[in-house]
C-alpha cells in the first residue's frame, strides 16, 4: 500500500542524477497513488513537458497551465499506460502535445494567425531553444535525423508538431495542394522514426 506522504517540503532529488529513472516503473507506482514516484517522474520529464508546451503554446504563463493540466492527467491516467504499446515518454508527451494544441486552437489564434506565418514563426529557430538542448546528444541525433527529411517534409512536420496547425492549414501555409500536407507529415515522421530506430519498426 502506498504511504500517505507529507504535503510540503518534500526534498527534491539531486539534480542531474546519473542513473536514468525507470519511467515505466514510476508510472506504475504513480497509478497506485505513490506521490513520491510521481515527483521523481516530474524531475525526469518536466523539461521536455514544459519545453514542448512552451514551443506550441508560446505564452509562458499559458504553457505553465498546460503543463500543470497535462501532468495532472498523466497522474490520473497513469494506470492506463500500456508498456506493450509504446514508451512511457511518448505516452506522456502525446498527452502534453494534445493539450497544448487544444490550447492554441481554442485560444484562437486571433493574434497568432493574424500575423503572417513568416513574421511570427520563423520556421523553427533551433538556436533560440534552451542551452540544455544543445548539450543533449539525443537532441543532436534528432536534429540530424530531421535534417535528413526533405525540406517540405520537415517544414510540414514542424508546423504541425510545434506550430499546432492542422494538415489543411499546413498545406495553406506552404502553398501545397490541399490533401498533400498530411502525406508530407506522415512521410517525414516515417523517416524520422526509421532513422532514429524507434517504434519497433
Partner 1 sequence: MSIDIHALSGAYAVDALDDIERAQFERHLADCPACRAEVASLQEASALMAETVLEAPPAGLRDRVLADIATVRPLPPLVTGLVSGEAVARRPARRWFPGLVAAAAVVTAIGVGVGVTQPWQDESSQVQPSAVDRIKAADDVQSFSKDFPDGSSATLYRSTSMNKAAIVTKNMADAPSGKVYELWLQHDDRMVAAGLMPDGPDNVVELSGDPATADGFGITVETDGGSTSGEPEGEVVAVVGFDQA
Is residue 173 close enough to count as binding partner 1 by CB under 8 A?
Answer: no
Is residue 142 close enough to count as binding partner 1 by CB under 8 A?
Answer: yes
Is residue 176 close enough to count as binding partner 1 by CB under 8 A?
Answer: no
Is residue 178 close enough to count as binding partner 1 by CB under 8 A?
Answer: no
Per CB under 8 A, which of residues 18..47 are in contact with partner 1?
30-33, 35, 38-39, 42-43, 46-47
Asked whether the CA dihedral 166, 72, 59, 16 is positive or negative, the reply is negative
Is residue 199 close enough to count as binding partner 1 by CB under 8 A?
Answer: yes
Between 24 and 139, CB nearer to partner 1: 139
User: Coil, strand or helix: which one is 61?
Assistant: helix
Take residue 71 and report the three cell numbers written for it.
Answer: 501532468
Distance CA 191, CA 200 (A): 13
Is residue 62 close enough to count as binding partner 1 by CB under 8 A?
Answer: no
Of the residues 44, 58, 161, 174, which one makes contact with partner 1 according to CB under 8 A: 161
Asked whether the CA dihedral 188, 190, 193, 196 is positive or negative, the reply is negative
Q: In angstroms, what is the minimal distance from the CB of 111 to partner 1?
A: 21
Of the residues 14, 138, 175, 177, which one makes contact with partner 1 according to CB under 8 A: 138
Count residues near partner 1 (CB under 8 A): 90
Distances (CA, A) of 76 to 71, 115, 189: 9, 37, 29
Q: In angstroms, what is the minimal distance from the CB of 126 to partner 1?
A: 6
CB within 8 A of 123, min separation 6: which ones? 155, 158, 159
> What are the start-end ranges of the E strands in 93-201?
none
Is residue 170 close enough to count as binding partner 1 by CB under 8 A?
Answer: yes
Contact call for residues 181 and 171 (beta carbons, < 8 A): yes
- The piece of 1-9, 17-25, 108-116 that touches partner 1 (CB under 8 A) is 1-9
Is residue 148 close enough to count as binding partner 1 by CB under 8 A?
Answer: no
536534429: which residue's cell?
A: 143
Distance CA 78, CA 171 (A): 36
Per CB under 8 A, which of residues 81..110 are in contact with partner 1?
85-87, 89-90, 93-94, 97-98, 101
Amino acid at each position: 500500500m502506498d504511504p500517505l506522504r507529507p504535503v510540503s517540503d518534500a526534498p527534491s532529488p539531486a539534480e542531474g542524477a546519473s542513473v536514468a529513472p525507470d519511467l515505466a516503473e514510476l508510472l506504475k507506482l504513480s497509478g497506485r497513488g505513490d506521490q513520491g514516484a510521481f515527483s521523481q517522474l516530474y524531475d525526469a520529464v518536466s523539461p521536455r513537458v514544459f519545453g514542448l508546451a512552451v514551443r506550441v503554446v508560446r505564452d509562458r504563463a499559458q504553457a505553465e497551465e498546460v503543463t500543470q493540466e497535462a501532468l495532472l492527467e498523466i497522474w490520473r491516467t497513469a494506470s492506463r499506460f500500456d508498456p506493450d504499446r509504446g514508451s512511457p515518454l511518448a505516452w506522456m508527451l502525446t498527452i502534453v502535445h494534445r493539450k497544448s494544441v487544444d490550447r492554441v486552437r481554442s485560444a484562437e489564434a486571433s493574434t497568432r494567425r493574424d500575423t503572417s506565418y513568416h513574421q511570427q514563426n520563423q520556421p523553427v529557430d533551433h538556436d533560440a531553444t534552451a542551452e540544455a538542448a544543445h548539450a543533449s546528444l539525443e537532441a543532436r541525433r534528432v536534429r540530424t535525423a530531421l535534417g535528413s527529411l526533405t525540406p517540405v517534409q520537415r517544414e510540414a512536420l514542424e508546423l504541425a508538431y510545434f506550430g499546432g496547425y492542422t494538415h489543411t492549414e499546413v498545406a495553406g501555409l506552404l502553398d501545397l495542394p490541399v490533401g498533400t500536407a498530411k502525406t508530407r507529415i506522415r512521410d517525414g515522421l516515417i523517416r524520422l522514426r526509421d532513422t532514429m530506430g524507434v517504434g519497433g519498426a
